[in-house]
Amino acid sequence: MDVIILLKKIILFISVLSFVISPLNNVNSEKNNENEQILIEQRHKQSIQIDKLKNAFLTEINNELYFFPKNLNIVTLGDSITEGVGDESKNAGYVGLIEDFLDHEVIVDNRGIAGYRSDQLLELIDEPDVEKSLSESDLVLMTIGANDLMKVFKRDLTNLKIEPFFDELNEFEERLNKIFTKIHQINPQANIYLIGFYDPFSEFFPEVEELSDISSSWNAGSAMITKKHDYTYYIPTSDLFEKGIAQYLAADNFHPNKKGYTKIASEIIEHIKTGVEDAYETN
């Protein structure tokens, strides 16, 4: 961690130095309105850069260094995956791992509830304490949809047909769109990340090809809804478990174990850092 602190100081020093020197170098250049405007823009950009670096922390993730804002406020919503069911370490699944990855420099409000469907999440968002938490968030992470799908399985278990799954998918997409819209109305500044779900069935029931088709269609539908908004992003996870999914599942053969949650958390970090690190470019 001493190395990280040193690196941060070096980067901050270089930024401050460029802030001081570049205007002096430009003083001797042609003094016209265009150059003066360029100087003003340079100073403004460098000033913003310095402020951001002062209010950031440097962390190492997967042997790479990244800047993240101090006190990044994250709200997590959704079902048992967000609650962390199956994590034998009792560290709240991917949510706890993200806190670990970011050196506990972030503020996380975990509102994941096992068994939650999209209709229940819509109601949860209206609760005053949840609405307040969302209004103060910088970004929102969400897992939802698996229990909407499972509702059809449980209802039609003795007479499964593929059509009801797609009928339910259409309704789910409408509710998902409402969830995104409602969160955005509460907090227009927050980015929303929807975490797709994996397919725990295909490896255990390879003869039922429709199971894989259903899971893929629901993920595709979820991704499509995120593309409708410029503040929502989709994080796929199905490809993380394409081979040997059993090793990543808890004893119930459905929820991830710690190893599975680690893969999910790493994928989430890869996606959210892309949006965050743009604010800390050094050029």
What pLDDT sits at residue 68? 62
pLDDT at 106: 82
- Distance, in Å, from the CA atom of 118 to the CA atom of 144, rounded to the nearest integer, reads 6
What's the pLDDT tens digit per position in 221-243? 999 999 999 999 999 998 888 77
pLDDT along the chain (283 residues), means of 10: 50 46 50 62 50 48 58 92 93 90 82 96 97 95 93 75 87 97 95 90 65 86 95 92 84 90 91 63 45
The pair of structure tokens assigned to 158 is 């003795």
**What is the 8-class DSSP label of residue 196?**
P
What pLDDT score does 245 carry? 84
In sequence order, the β-bridge partners of residue 57 are 68
Query: Which pLDDT belongs to residue 204?
Result: 61
Supply the pLDDT for residue 184.
97
Check residue 72 and give its pLDDT.
82
- The predicted structure's pLDDT at residue 241: 81
pLDDT value at residue 211 = 74
Q: Which positions ≥6 away from 102 have C-beta within 8 Å? A: 59, 68, 72
